[in-house]
Amino acid sequence: MSKQPVVQLDHITKVIGNKTIIDQLSFELFPGEVVGFLGPNGAGKTTTIRMIVGLMAPTAGEILIQGIDVQQDFEKAISHVGAIVENPELYKYMSGYKNLLHYARMVDGVTEERIDEVIELVGLQNRIEQKVSTYSLGMRQRLGLAQALLHRPSLLILDEPTNGLDPAGIREFRDYLRMVADKEDVCVLVSSHLLSEIELMCDRTLIIQSGKLIGEKQIQKEEVTAEAKKQIVQFQVNPVEKAISILQLQKIVLLYSNQTSFEIEIERDNVPKLVKNLVAEDVSIFAVETRVKSLEDEFLEITGGKSVD
């Protein structure tokens, strides 16, 4: 990417007591991208975010936001950050507009035009004069997003952003995030232990475990055709042992098997040939089910089978 990074973490380590919580963590985040920060509970996501926003000092290493060292010039660095924690803090008895006005007064340089702009960005024009207590959870999340955007941050940090939203709400929030990242050229960091949430929302995912970056995944969008993707295919067959010996001959990697079925990773184009071979060897096939490899499968591969939560 040719753009300058918004955030640079350079070999960040955090030791508390005699425990290394974050271990030489390095990554860069760029404008306009929505990045997932994924890891099981206790992996070190919150600690990392606390260091990025200057609430905790690293034991070693450097964090730069827009090139400014968070430790050396906290106020200037933090002026580029907007954050929404789990539930945005809103005054329910006040209107959406009054909430935004209240926050705008606490920050320098937020004009009324900017307030109107963020309201439009999150699609709350028609409801902004009504009390927050009348808002749905999704609308509250969007108002929280508007509030975090008021001072034109370059980095937006969202911690478990869709907590409590239903699938339709998650989809809607994702579309707003995507649009905000594009229109405001802001980098959005989404911290979550939910693979489904991250997979839906993010362009790229950083996977953290025990304070270390253990994987990075660029989530491919439309450019990857379904045919080209590796798929996980489950076969229900009889006898399974015979089928497995055929797989072994063809050097197909077996992911899982039980007494009635097995699961393999295979390219779509190779499925018909395998079916023919199984039938030719007198293996009865009761069902063949395909699913595209999900981030969860990747995560399990990378972490060696330790699932999140």
Per CB under 6 A, residues contacting ligand ATP are 16, 21, 39, 41-47, 193
| CA neighbor of 284 nearest in space, from 275, 272, 292, 296 | 275
Q: How many CB atoms lie within 10 A of CB 11?
A: 12
**Judged by CB, which is closer to ligand ATP: 15, or 246?**
15
Kindly give the pairing relationship between strand 254-257 and strand 204-209.
Answer: unpaired
Residue with smaller CB distance to ligand ATP, 46 or 130: 46
For residue 85, the 8-state DSSP code is -
CB of 304 to ligand ATP, least distance (A): 18
Nearest Cα to Cα of residue 292 among 236, 234, 247, 226: 226
C-beta of 89: minimal distance to ligand ATP in Å? 19
Shortest Cβ 306–ligand ATP spacing (Å):
14
Largest Cα span, the chain: 76
CB of 164 vs ligand ATP, minimal distance in Å: 16
Nearer to ligand ATP among residue 193 and residue 242 (C-beta):
193
96-106 and 112-121 are packed helices; what angle lies between their axes, rounded to 10 degrees?
A: 130
Tell me the closest approach of the beta carbon of residue 190 to ligand ATP, in angstroms: 13
Is 230:238 a contact under the CB 8 Å cutoff?
no
**CB 118 within 8 Å of CB 149:** yes
- Nearest residue (CB) to ligand ATP, 29 versus 143: 29
For ligand ATP, the closer of residues 21 and 90 by Cβ is 21
Nearer to ligand ATP, 143 or 308 (CB): 308
- Which residue in the shown chain puts its C-beta closest to ligand ATP? 46
CB of 137 to ligand ATP, least distance (A): 21
Assigned token pair, 74: 């906290």
CB of 47 or CB of 66, closer to ligand ATP? 47
Question: Whole-number minimum distance, CB 21 to ligand ATP, in Å?
Answer: 4
Task: Please identify, using beta-carbon distances, which residue of 39 and 96 lies nearer to ligand ATP.
Answer: 39
Q: Return the DSSP state at 293.
A: P
Query: End-to-end distance of the chain based on CA atoms, in angstroms?
Result: 33
Q: Using CA atoms in the order 247, 248, 251, 256, what is the torsion angle rounded to 10 degrees?
A: 70
Q: Residue 54 CB, nearest distance to ligand ATP (Å)?
A: 16
Distances, alpha carbon 183 to alpha carbons 11, 23, 205, 236, 286, in Å: 31, 35, 21, 48, 50
Residues 240-246: contacts with CB under 8 Å, at least 24 apart = 242/281, 242/282, 242/283, 243/278, 243/283, 246/274, 246/277, 246/278, 246/281, 246/283
d(CA 42, CA 53): 19
CB of 163 to ligand ATP, least distance (A): 12
> Toward ligand ATP, which CB reaches closer, 17 or 305?
17
